[in-house]
Amino acid sequence: MEIYIAKGAGFCFGVKRAVNIAFKTAEESVKRVATLGPIIHNPQVVEKLRKAGVKPLDRISEDVDILIVRTHGITAELYESLREAKFQLIDATCPFVKKAQQYAKLLREEGYQVLILGDKDHPEVKGILSYAGENAVVVRDADDMPMLDSRVGIVVQTTQPVEALKRLLDKVVQTVKEVKVYNTICNSTALRLKETEEMTRKVDIMLVVGGKNSANTKQLVTLCNESKVRTYHVETADDLSAEWFDGVEKVGITAGASTPDWIISDIVRKIEAIGALACTSKGRES
């Protein structure tokens, strides 16, 4: 059995940065450290951080000394109120998400109606929306379009596929006189999707590794399912079943942006144990 791992599988730049900030803060401080919500959508990493002394909070509490803002960012209002609170605030919002917030603010200031392509319930989108002004709208896809003003400025949730932006633009230009677009899609997401799509063409089964609540992991699962390759979404090596690999010659592994390398390595080891001598790990695809 041969195992292929997508080159860009696992932690992206923003997640790596936020997780490092959290571990470093816990290591260097004797104070009470917390994150507002889980720092990333991966329960195993959140648990590791908890053991290192970083508590995920559901709501703001006076019981902390240092509060870390997670990769997805927070709303403008919350940010302002936290800056006035008595604890120290460390902003680990991904710089690419910050950029999307800034563009939304800029478009609002320039008088555009801001149109955000994304999932309105996702914390990243809620954060961007808070900078976008009262007449801003969020659409999940091109079919979801409301009536728009004559001047529209577009920003995109960082994890959206570029095809979704193309479909949206195609529709917007049919009704709107002036359109300004900031393509805030993160390259790491686009690259991971592309590598995964290519991998599905050469393997017998695909394993998508990542938190069940991770949006970008679910996106990878959808893509693999659409490719018709037998696909399993797993969080850890414990989720693997030996019978999945019966008669399988090539296994592809991809992982969401919040999946750490050690989980991917555990999975490779378990597949190697299942396949015993017949297993060859190909390492990361280049």
Residues annotated as part of the active site: 124
CB-based contact 248:75 (threshold 8 Å): no
Nearest C-alpha neighbor of 227 from the set 251, 259, 192, 203:
203
Residue 275 backbone dihedrals phi, psi, to 5 degrees: -80, -10
Part of the chain binding ligand SF4 (CB under 6 A), chosen from 113-121, 129-137, 185-193, 205-213: 185-193
Part of the chain binding ligand SF4 (CB under 6 A), chosen from 127-135, 170-178, 182-190, 224-232: 182-190
Decide if residue 14 touches ligand SF4 (CB under 6 A). yes
Decide if residue 182 touches ligand SF4 (CB under 6 A). no
Decide if residue 22 touches ligand SF4 (CB under 6 A). no
Neighbours of 171 (CB within 10 A): 17
CA torsion sign, 219 to 222 to 226 to 230?
A: positive
Decide if residue 42 touches ligand SF4 (CB under 6 A). no
Decide if residue 157 touches ligand SF4 (CB under 6 A). no
Mutual angle of helices 95-109 and 13-28, in 10-degree steps: 110
In the complex, the smallest distance separating the C-beta of residue 23 from ligand SF4, rounded to whole angstroms, is 17
Paired with 205 in beta bridges are 230, 251
CA distance 129 to 124: 9
CA torsion sign, 47 to 48 to 49 to 50?
A: positive
Decide if residue 155 touches ligand SF4 (CB under 6 A). no
- Please identify the residue of the shown chain whose CB is closest to the bound ligand SF4: 14
Residue 67 backbone dihedrals phi, psi, to 5 degrees: -115, 130
Which listed residue (155, 206, 257, 267) binds ligand SF4 by CB under 6 A? 257
Q: Which helix (H) or strand (E) holds 179?
A: strand 178-181
Decide if residue 214 touches ligand SF4 (CB under 6 A). no
Q: Which amino acid is at 240?
A: L
Part of the chain binding ligand SF4 (CB under 6 A), chosen from 47-55, 84-92, 94-102, 261-269: 94-102
In the complex, the smallest distance separating the C-beta of residue 65 from ligand SF4, rounded to whole angstroms, is 26
Which listed residue (96, 112, 131, 245) binds ligand SF4 by CB under 6 A? 96
Part of the chain binding ligand SF4 (CB under 6 A), chosen from 9-17, 58-66, 103-111, 272-280: 9-17
Paired with 56 in beta bridges are 35
Q: Give the β-pairing of 54-57 and 33-36.
A: parallel
Which listed residue (3, 6, 15, 221) binds ligand SF4 by CB under 6 A? 15
In the complex, the smallest distance separating the C-beta of residue 104 from ligand SF4, rounded to whole angstroms, is 15
CA distance 41 to 211: 6
CA distance 135 to 152: 11
Which listed residue (9, 49, 68, 97) binds ligand SF4 by CB under 6 A? 97
Which listed residue (35, 158, 196, 214) binds ligand SF4 by CB under 6 A? 158
In the complex, the smallest distance separating the C-beta of residue 124 from ligand SF4, rounded to whole angstroms, is 8
Return residues touching ligand SF4 (CB under 6 A): 12-15, 71, 94, 96-97, 158-159, 186, 188-189, 257
